[in-house]
Amino acid sequence: MKIWAKRLALFCVGLMLLGGSSAWAGATIKLGVVTKPGSAQNVCAEKFKELLEARSDYQVKIYHSASLGTETQILQQIQMNTVQMGVITAGPFDVFIPEVRVINYPFLFADAREVDQVLDGPAGQKLLKALEKARFKGLAFSENGFRHLTNNVRPVHTVDDVKGIKIRVMESVLHKELWRLLGANPTPMGWPIYTELQQGTIDAQENPLWVIWTYKLYEVQKYLSLTGHVYSAHIDVANLDWFNGLPAADQELIQRCMQEAALYQRQWNRDNEADFLSKLKAAGMQVNEHPDLATFRARVSDIRNLDIYAGSEVQAMLEAFLD
Ligand code: PAF
């Protein structure tokens, strides 16, 4: 080693010892969310930033409002480590890791209590671990919430009312297949989609109430049916190799901050849901609060036998979640 290089190395070690902290202290973590401030993902990301910055020298820079592209593109950037972390809807993960189709299984959870039991238990941990195959470190589950259908064609009460409707779905294998089974005409697209709804390129979309309110979809969608067909989690992830390269104490801290942020955000979502519904009604949406869900369930009862759930690992994950 040249003399100047030795000196530089010693100087760096000296600095680290003096500061009593790691070479990562003060590093900036790039975190991507597709949504805009005020959205569920952003609430989680901002809480994480607040907690981590208060407890360490890390800085968290949040890239939001689709500035990094779609959720699929953010996941690719996390894989490349040009972005280290993300709060991403579970849907688009299932292109990378088929096991994630399990968490998007239709009508899987009855309510938030059941969601928490499963996601915070062994099945949730197993799913977070499975993400490592695609080089993601699964840190926690925050939530998007239960997804409901909006459209511009007709009020939807039974599954037959969905027939032929052009619906935007997430870039997700499960979501596309689900809406095909239900009889609609699904088109996968990234987010946002206001213009496509406004221009009539698509007639329908499905999302939790906070999305319909925050993105003003009530201006371009007339009918809302509370179908709750899929519970939509966010999976809060980091690049696996970046994460594993951090000192153990930092890994533990980042994980803990994200878990706390996720729990805080789930509560935020639940506390605000009734309010979002009232606002959507007041804004003039025609709401069917009790669609005939039995007709929807019947149409998808065989979904677990389709190719999208084939393979021993996916089936094992399904067993863990359906148990
Ligand atoms: O439909 C989607 O793409 C997602 O639900 C959204 C709106 C990005 C929120 O997570």
Rg (CA), the chain: 21
On the question of pLDDT at 21 being above 70, the answer is no
For the chain, the average pLDDT equals 93
Measured by CA distance, the residue closest to atom 10 of ligand 1 is 89
Q: Give the separation between CA 23 and CA 44, rounded to whole angstroms.
A: 27
* Whole-prediction pTM: 0.92
Share of the chain above pLDDT 70, in %: 92
**Backbone φ/ψ region at 35: left (φ over 0), alpha (ψ -120 to 50), beta:** beta
**Strand, helix or coil for residue 236:** strand
Q: Give the separation between CA 1 and CA 260, rounded to whole angstroms.
A: 45
CA of 207 to the centre of ligand 1 (A): 7
Angle at CA 315, nearest 5°, toward 304 and 180? 30
Q: Give the separation between CA 33 and CA 108, rounded to whole angstroms.
A: 25
Taking the CA of residue 232 as reference, the ligand 1 atom at the shortest distance is 5
CA of 174 to the centre of ligand 1 (A): 14
pLDDT computed for residue 323 by the predictor: 82
Does the beta carbon of 35 lie inside 6 Å of ligand 1? Answer: yes
Does the beta carbon of 31 lie inside 6 Å of ligand 1? Answer: no
Taking the CA of residue 147 as reference, the ligand 1 atom at the shortest distance is 5
On the question of pLDDT at 107 being above 90, the answer is yes
Segment 155-164 shows an average pLDDT of: 98
Nearest to 156 by CA among 1, 45, 299: 299
Residue whose CB lies within 8 A of the most ligand 1 atoms, among 95, 144, 146, for a mutation test: 144
For 19, other C-beta atoms within 10 Å of its C-beta total 12
**Strand, helix or coil for residue 191:** coil
User: Sheet of 136-146: strands edge to edge?
Assistant: 59-63, 28-32, 85-89, 231-239, 136-146
Measured by CA distance, the residue closest to atom 5 of ligand 1 is 207
Output DSSP code: residue 124. Answer: H
Residue type, 195: T
Segment 267-274 shows an average pLDDT of: 97
Task: Give me the residue label for tokens 């088109």.
Answer: 187
Angle at CA 211, nearest 5°, toward 192 and 149? 95
Residue 147 and residue 168 in contact, taking contact as beta carbons nearer than 8 Å: no
pLDDT computed for residue 12 by the predictor: 43
CA of 17 to the centre of ligand 1 (A): 45
Q: Return the minimum-mean-pLDDT range out of 16-25, 132-141, 149-158.
A: 16-25
pLDDT computed for residue 29 by the predictor: 98
Does the beta carbon of 191 lie inside 6 Å of ligand 1? Answer: yes
Binned at pLDDT 50, 70 and 90, residue 302 comes out as very high
Q: Return the minimum-mean-pLDDT range out of 18-22, 51-55, 185-189, 308-312.
A: 18-22
Segment 183-203 shows an average pLDDT of: 98
On the question of pLDDT at 10 being above 80, the answer is no
Q: Give the separation between CA 263 and CA 51, rounded to whole angstroms.
A: 13
Segment 266-279 shows an average pLDDT of: 97
Segment 264-291 shows an average pLDDT of: 98
Q: How far lies 290's CA from each of 141, 147, 148, 171, 213, in Å? A: 28, 14, 11, 28, 20
pLDDT in tens, 70-84: 999 999 999 999 999
Does the beta carbon of 149 lie inside 6 Å of ligand 1? Answer: no
Segment 90-116 shows an average pLDDT of: 97
CA of 34 to the centre of ligand 1 (A): 8
On the question of pLDDT at 127 being above 50, the answer is yes
Nearest to 208 by CA among 176, 231, 235: 231
Does the beta carbon of 88 lie inside 6 Å of ligand 1? Answer: no
Nearest to 41 by CA among 218, 255, 191: 191
CA of 81 to the centre of ligand 1 (A): 23
Q: What is the full DSSP assignment across 254-288?
A: HHHHHHHHHHHHHHHHHHHHHHHHHHHHHTT-EEE
Segment 280-285 shows an average pLDDT of: 98
Taking the CA of residue 205 as reference, the ligand 1 atom at the shortest distance is 1
pLDDT computed for residue 24 by the predictor: 63
Taking the CA of residue 190 as reference, the ligand 1 atom at the shortest distance is 3
pLDDT computed for residue 23 by the predictor: 52
Taking the CA of residue 191 as reference, the ligand 1 atom at the shortest distance is 3
CA of 245 to the centre of ligand 1 (A): 31
Share of the chain above pLDDT 90, in %: 91
Strands (E) across the chain are located at 28-32, 59-63, 85-89, 136-146, 148-151, 166-169, 185-188, 204-207, 223-225, 231-239, 286-288
pLDDT computed for residue 87 by the predictor: 98
Does the beta carbon of 259 lie inside 6 Å of ligand 1? Answer: no
On the question of pLDDT at 224 being above 70, the answer is yes
Does the beta carbon of 89 lie inside 6 Å of ligand 1? Answer: yes
pLDDT computed for residue 75 by the predictor: 98
